[in-house]
A and B are shown apart, each in its own frame.
Chain A
Amino acid sequence: MTNKEKYQQAFSALKASRKIEVEDIIMNKSIGFTRGIAVAAAIALCFVGSNSICYAATGNTWVEKMVVFFSGQATETDVTVRDLGNGDYSYTVEVPEDEASVSMGFVTEEDGTETIITDPDLMAEGMNGAMTQSGNVELHVEVVEENGLLWLVLEGQRLDITEDFTDGEVEGTFSANGKEYKYLVTGTKEEYGVSVELCE
């Protein structure tokens, strides 16, 4: 057998269990993640110690206003929080019909405590963009997600880093203000770090 035949035989084992109905497609009836209620029961985040967000830890279920990223845009929305009783919480958020992805503003504190950011200003500063200093030039650097692609925006220049960022690290060079810079993006889409250095 050729490699192609072996490969195709191996992946022929995959079978979808759900039948797609044309009527559902025509009626735009999505049963997927990107529409309707997205239940995040699997995302049971562990909050250690006191946490200003999860102040109602004794209640079973409550609704909080939280800042959630919809396709990269920070939006304050109602989030239903459920106390799972073991220090873990589940979160449920209603996802707008036209949104491709959603993520929470979420950071890890210095002591390792994980905290959901609800302050839009902090979110904008810490999650949705970064100002970095390189030499005497202040550069605006931002990672944004649009239409399923991840873009590194450097001084207005857009670089598609979707593929390379899957490894959690992407580096390269770009020119701005007549100078050549080296950039390095590390982390995850939700929590990333960008460093920019002037090339020697």
Chain B
Amino acid sequence: MRQAVQELIERYQHNLFVAAFQICKNQEDAEDVVQETFIQYHTTKKEYESEEHIRAWLLRVAINKAKNVSYTFWRRNKQPLEDYIETLTFESEESGELFETVLGLPEKYRIVIHLFYYEEYSVQEIAKVLKLSESNVKVRLLRGRKLLKDALKEEWEDDK
């Protein structure tokens, strides 16, 4: 199956942007990544099993493209992350603190944490999106949570 690009943009643009931002830590780069991801969807004549399959594929491609941008030598003039965070409006002080703490995590924990808490993916689904083993995802999730707990103390509950 395939879905119209328009529908996918409306449904997933924000999610892809947030996922890309997790890696790029830069608004413009993340926006470029989202646009490139939709272009790749449009130009790749791939058939998908379900809408969930499309969503996972889009996230996977966006994450890879974001890594490409992050790793590459050529970078655009970047706005410092601290300056960008200053422009954001958080609902509470705790939200802002959580945001900054997450972005301070090592990338390999950060993206797993993001897919779990933001996209509400299961360990099995994260493993498929990131092409990792389930045990690897579990370890990263565990370590990422511990780092969050250590930093945020009572602001972060112990997950079962």
Q: A interface vs B, CB < 8 Å?
A: 2-4, 6-14, 16-18, 20, 22, 24-26, 28, 30-34, 38-43, 69, 91, 93, 95, 100-104, 106, 145, 147-150, 160, 162-164, 166-167, 188-190
- Point out the residue from A3, A9, A10 that lies within 8 Å of B159, measured CB to CB: A3
Do the beta carbons of B64 and A148 come within 8 Å of each other?
yes
Report A91 CB to chain B, min CB distance, Å. Answer: 8
Contact status of A22 and B108, CB under 8 A, knowing A16-B27, A28-B39: no
Separation of A37 and B114 alpha carbons in the complex (Å): 32
Chain A: CB-nearest residue to B157: A3
Query: Are A31 and B42 neighbours in the complex by a CB distance under 8 Å?
Result: no
B33, closest chain A residue (CB): A32
Q: Restricting to B23-79, which residues have a CB under 8 Å from any CB of A? A: 27, 29-36, 38-39, 42-43, 61, 64-65, 67-69, 71-78
Which B residues are in CB contact (< 8 Å) with A42?
75-78
Closest Cβ–Cβ distance, residue B117 to chain A (whole Å): 4
Closest 7 CB pairs of A and B: A148-B64, A32-B32, A7-B117, A103-B73, A42-B77, A10-B95, A10-B98
A102-B107 Cα distance, complex, nearest whole Å: 21
Cβ of B147 under 8 Å from chain A: no
Q: Given A26-B42, A148-B64: A6 and B98 within 8 A (CB)?
A: yes
Q: By DSSP majority rule, is chain A's interface helix, strand, loop, or mixed? A: mixed
- Chain B residues near A41 (CB, 8 Å)? 76-77
Instruction: Point out the residues of chain A lying under 8 angstroms from B27, CB to CB.
Output: 16-17
Instruction: Using C-beta atoms within 8 Å of the partner chain, give the interface range for chain B.
Output: 35 or more
Whether A39 and B76, one on each chain, are in contact in the complex, defined by CB atoms closer than 8 angstroms, is: yes
Q: In the complex, are the beta carbons of B95 and A33 less than 8 A apart? A: no
Query: Which residues of chain A have C-beta atoms less than 8 A from B72's C-beta?
Result: 33, 101-103
> Chain B contacts of A43 at CB under 8 A?
73-75
When C-beta atoms are compared, the residue in chain B nearest to A26 turns out to be B42
Q: Which of chain B's residues have a CB closer than 8 A to the CB of A11? A: 18, 99, 102, 114, 118
Identify the closest chain B residue to A69 (Cβ): B73
Q: Which residues of B contact A28 (CB under 8 A)?
A: 39, 42-43
Find out whether the CB atom of A40 lies under 8 angstroms from the CB atom of B75. Answer: yes
CB within 8 Å of A: which B85-130 residues: 88-92, 94-96, 98-99, 102, 106-108, 113-114, 117-118, 120, 130
Q: Is the CB of B74 within 8 A of A93?
A: yes
Contact check, B76 vs A26: say whether CB atoms are below 8 A apart.
no
Residue of chain A at shortest CB distance from B145: A3
Residue in B closest to A104 when the chains form the complex, CB atoms: B73
Residues of B within 8 A of A25 (CB): 5, 9, 35, 38-39, 42
Q: Which residue, B31, B39, B72, B75, has most C-beta atoms of chain A within 10 A? A: B72
Closest to B156 in A: A3
